[in-house]
Each structure stands twice: as C-alpha cells, then as structure tokens.
C-alpha cells in the first residue's frame, strides 16, 4: 500500500473536558497518513484516480473546528472516519497533537495516534 501524508495541519478547536478549554479553545495539530494504491493515478497522471489531499485537509480542519468533544481520542476517530469516506483510501493513521493541554508540569506535546481501515 502506498502512503500520502499530511503533516502539521493546524486548526483551533474547543475540545476538552474542562470548561476553560471549551470556552477559550486552543490550537490542535493533526498528522495524517493515508494508505491507498497510487498506481492508477500515476499511470494516467490523473488526480481523479487518487486522493485529493487538499480536500482531505479542508475536511480535517472542519472536524477540528467543528462540534466540541471531551477527548482527543474521539476527535481522532472522527477525523479517521472523514478520511475513510474517500473512495481510494483503504487505511488512515491519525495523530492528534494537543500542545496546550492543561497539564501542570512542563511538557512538549500530548498526542493520540490511531489507525483505522476499511477492513
């Protein structure tokens, strides 16, 4: 399976279990790896035979900016389902970063990574 990756998609969301997170929001960062067969697109040099990563990026940002959820696990799942709606995408790995998570000790990042497939 071939891979198309998008790294560092940024969007402001209002996800989290604390009221302050819901009210103020924060920046979330999403990394995606889409698994698909790119041979048909490459053979014909045809965008219609692969995944349009620009559209996927817009859809992912819309999920992050959309309806708030408590957990980034839930957010990752919603993102995965949006990606799998694209016909050629057979598998997706989603990593959601929450670099401004409300943690009381110094840290660089909090991430949740999931892999989902059509199978």
Q: Is 98 among the residues known to form the active site?
A: yes
CATH number at residue 19: 3.30.1130.10
Which pLDDT tens digits describe the chain residue by residue (119 residues)? 999 999 999 999 999 999 999 999 999 999 999 999 999 999 999 999 999 999 999 999 999 999 999 999 999 999 999 999 999 999 999 999 999 999 999 999 999 999 999 87
Length of the chain: 119
Catalytic residue among 20, 49, 85, 98: 98
Into how many domains does the chain fold?
Answer: 1
Give me the domain span that covers residue 71.
1-115
Nearest to 53 by CA among 41, 43, 44: 41
Q: 112 and 101 in contact (C-beta within 8 Å)?
A: no
Mark residue 109 as left, alpha or beta (left: phi above 0; alpha: psi -120 to 50; beta: remaining): beta
Q: How do the residues of the chain divide into helix, strand and coil, expressed in percent and rounded to 5?
A: 35, 30, 35
């Amino acid at each position: 399976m071939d891979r198309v990756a998008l790294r560092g998609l940024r969007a402001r969301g209002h996800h989290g279990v604390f009221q302050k997170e819901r009210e103020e929001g924060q920046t979330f960062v999403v990394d995606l790896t889409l698994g698909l067969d790119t041979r048909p697109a490459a053979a014909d040099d045809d965008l219609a035979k692969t995944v349009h990563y620009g559209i996927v990026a817009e859809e992912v940002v819309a999920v992050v900016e959309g309806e708030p959820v408590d957990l980034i696990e839930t957010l990752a799942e919603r993102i995965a389902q949006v990606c799998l709606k694209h016909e050629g995408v057979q598998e997706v790995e989603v990593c959601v970063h929450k670099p401004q998570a409300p943690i009381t000790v110094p840290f660089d990042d909090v991430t949740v990574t999931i892999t989902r497939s059509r199978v």
